[in-house]
């Protein structure tokens, strides 16, 4: 992908056609608010939300198949395979989160219809972030996502823990947004534009390049994105927010929000600042090493599985950063593959946690998993698959994910980073396999009921099946990532007024 231009002959109406998936989600979310007033049964609202996500998914796939890359709306929005890849996963994440939430919200006593509308609004924000060709559009998408998640985290209004998590996320989120906006302002001050590809063109010509004057906005943007992807040392919010938020929201946050941050980070650094890789590569190397190390070590001492998975997500952010550091098509492809697999196994793990939630049982303390294999063998087998995959043990998909980013780092000349990743993968095996040991090698202390529903069973079946299938036969995912990155180095085709 080279310079993004609006071109002549593009009508604003034709440009809006490329925003069909996002508009469908926003429209569906608005409809859900009305349905919440009309129907007492929230299953109707949830089902309508799933239909909205499926419609957006179909629209994205149809546009990708029938059109070429295009930049529209005066160069502020880009439609390309990179954005479509992430959008499809965002829509899938929203669908799976809705499936996880139905029964869980009833148990928690927060079965509110606006919950599903907020999920769709947040997903729409993620979609805008993935296709933003301008830093202002990226910021607007980010705010739509974060404002929705602020409310979702604190939706258990009677829970002090949930309220505390929402306040912490709100305060630290606002703090990180200030860094991001300051970075955007400095980029505009140096280059006179906020369009991502235009920034790259000016930097390539030497305009606005001034050592520390260029490094400062890059550093500020990395800090802002570092918070969103919960990379160390900007991870402080993650353990408390993950623990305090409703478990279904935690799953959505740890997957959707994190991957949206990576989608934006990958585009901004690999396109806008492609002419000056030395400005950001060193920063990301520091973040990756800190994230992998701190996340893996601090997870060792956790007794709450949600906090353990929070520190685990910090470590996985470091692994995914290896793909961004490697750069180029192969590096970004490895990042995309890693994040896709990470999302599936994380959603699956949280699904098991939700299945253990019942009256009097939170399903969060590790001691509640003792002897679980004797009580609930199917749920235990599913959790075993997710834990093995999070470690990276073959033949699960987690092995494919880590192998892809390690190989990308090695080919880009960052072999020490790959070695560090392998070492800490071994260390992380302790806290993942500890869950397996508790389930299969301990006697149950008490009866732990299993609360499932048909949607939750479907979520577990999809995630387990995908982790096993992609571990044995990863070609479909690799082919999808390759197709998504086709034309990354080429200029997008300008829309002609009528979609082909």
82-114 confidence digits (pLDDT tens): 999 999 999 999 999 999 998 888 888 888 889
- For residue 368, the model assigns a pLDDT of 85
- For residue 362, the model assigns a pLDDT of 66
Give 493 or 192, the one with higher predicted confidence.
192
Q: What is the SS3 assignment for the chain?
A: CCCCCCCCCCCHHHHHHCCHHHHHHHHHHHHHHHHHHHCCCHHHHHHHHHHHHHHHHHHHHHHHHHCCCEEECCCCEEECHHHHHHHHHHHHHHHHHHHHHHHHHHHHCCCCCHHHHHHHHHHHHHHHHHCECEHHHHHHHHHHHHHHHHHHHCCCCCCHHHHHHHHHHHHHHHHHHHHHHHHHHHHHHHHCCCEHHHHHHHHHCCCCCCCHHHHHHHHHHHHHHHHHCCCCCCCCHHHHHHHHCCHHHHHHHHHHHHHHHHHHHHHHHHHHCCCCHHHHHHHHHHHHHHHHHHHHHHHHHCCEHHHHHHHHHHHHHHHHHHHHHHCHHHHHHHHHHHHHHHHHHHHHHHHHHHHCCECCECCCEHHHHCCHHHHCHHHHHHHHHHHHHHHCCCCCHHHHHHHHHHHHHHHCCCHHHHHHHHHHHHHHHHHHHHHHHHHHHCCCCCCCCCCCCHHHHHHHHHHHHHHHHHHHCCHHHHHHHHHHCCCCCCCCCCCCCCCC
Average pLDDT over residues 279-290: 93
In this predicted structure, which of 13-22, 199-208, 262-271, 471-480 has the lowest mean pLDDT?
199-208
Average pLDDT over residues 156-164: 87
Closest CA to 117 of 84, 135, 144, 80: 144
- For residue 492, the model assigns a pLDDT of 39
Average pLDDT over residues 29-37: 92
Length of the chain in terms of residues written: 500
Q: What share of the chain is helix, strand, coil (3-state, %, to 5)?
A: 75, 5, 20
- Quick one: what percent of the chain has pLDDT higher than 90? 63
Average pLDDT for the chain = 88
**What are the tens digits of pLDDT across the range 229-255?**
999 899 888 999 999 999 999 999 999
- For residue 3, the model assigns a pLDDT of 37
Query: Does residue 497 register a pLDDT over 50?
Result: no
Query: Does residue 484 register a pLDDT over 70?
Result: yes
**What are the tens digits of pLDDT across the range 455-465?**
999 999 999 99
In this predicted structure, which of 6-20, 109-123, 267-281, 391-405 has the lowest mean pLDDT?
6-20
Phi/psi at 474 (nearest 5 deg)? -80, 0
Query: Does residue 309 register a pLDDT over 80?
Result: yes
**What are the tens digits of pLDDT across the range 327-364?**
888 999 999 999 999 999 999 999 999 998 876 666 77
**What are the tens digits of pLDDT across the range 285-306?**
999 999 999 999 999 989 899 9
Query: Does residue 210 register a pLDDT over 80?
Result: no
List all residues 6 or more positions away from 300 whose beta carbon is below 8 Å from its beta carbon.
427, 430, 431
What's this model's pTM, rounded to 2 decimal places?
A: 0.92
Q: What letter does residue 234 receive in the DSSP assignment?
A: S
Q: 489: pLDDT confidence band, cut at 50, 70 and 90?
A: low
Average pLDDT over residues 428-443: 91
């Amino acid at each position: 992908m080279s310079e993004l231009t609006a071109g002549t002959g593009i009508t604003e109406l034709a440009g809006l056609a490329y925003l069909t998936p996002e508009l469908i989600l926003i429209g569906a979310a608005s409809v859900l608010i009305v349905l919440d007033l009309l129907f007492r049964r929230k299953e109707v609202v949830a089902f309508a939300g799933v239909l909205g996500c499926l419609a957006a998914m179909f629209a994205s796939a149809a546009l990708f198949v029938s059109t070429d890359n295009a930049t529209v709306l005066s160069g502020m929005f880009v439609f390309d395979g990179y954005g479509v890849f992430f959008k499809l996963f965002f829509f899938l994440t929203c669908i799976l989160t809705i499936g996880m939430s139905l029964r869980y919200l009833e148990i928690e006593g927060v079965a509110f219809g606006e919950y599903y509308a907020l999920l769709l609004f947040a997903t729409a924000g993620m979609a805008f972030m993935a296709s933003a060709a301008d830093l202002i559009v990226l910021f607007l998408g980010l705010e739509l996502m974060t404002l929705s998640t602020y409310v979702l985290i604190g939706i258990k209004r009677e829970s002090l823990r949930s309220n505390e998590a929402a306040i912490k996320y709100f305060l630290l989120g606002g703090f990180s947004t200030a860094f991001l906006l300051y970075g955007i302002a400095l980029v505009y001050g140096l280059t006179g534009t906020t369009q991502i590809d235009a920034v790259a063109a000016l930097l390539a010509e030497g305009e606005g390049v001034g050592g520390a004057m260029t490094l400062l906005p890059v550093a500020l943007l990395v800090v802002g994105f570092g918070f969103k992807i919960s990379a160390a040392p900007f991870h402080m919010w993650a353990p408390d927010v993950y623990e305090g938020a409703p478990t279904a929201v935690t799953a959505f946050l740890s997957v959707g929000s994190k991957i949206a941050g990576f989608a934006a980070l990958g585009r901004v650094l690999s396109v806008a600042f492609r002419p000056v890789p030395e400005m950001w590569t060193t920063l990301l190397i520091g973040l990756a090493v800190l994230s992998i190390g701190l996340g893996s070590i601090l997870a060792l001492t956790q007794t709450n599985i949600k906090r353990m998975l929070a520190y685990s997500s910090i470590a996985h952010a470091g692994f995914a950063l290896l793909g961004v550091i490697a750069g180029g098509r192969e590096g970004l492809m490895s990042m995309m593959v890693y994040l896709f697999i990470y999302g599936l196994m994380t959603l699956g793990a949280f699904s098991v946690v939700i299945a253990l939630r019942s009256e009097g049982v939170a399903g969060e303390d590790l001691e509640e998993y003792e002897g679980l294999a004797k009580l609930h063998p199917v749920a235990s087998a599913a959790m075993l698959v997710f834990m093995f995959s999070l470690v990276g043990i073959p033949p699960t998909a987690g092995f494919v994910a880590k192998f892809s980013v390690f190989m990308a780092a090695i080919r880009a000349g960052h072999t020490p980073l790959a070695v560090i990743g392998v070492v800490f993968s071994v260390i992380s095996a302790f806290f993942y396999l500890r869950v397996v040991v508790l389930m299969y090698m301990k006697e149950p202390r008490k009866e732990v009921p299993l609360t499932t529903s048909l949607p939750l069973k479907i979520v577990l079946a999809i995630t387990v099946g995908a982790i096993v299938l992609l571990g044995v036969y990863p070609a479909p995912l690799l082919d999808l990532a390759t197709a998504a990155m086709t034309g990354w180095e080429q200029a997008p085709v300008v829309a002609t007024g009528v979609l082909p």
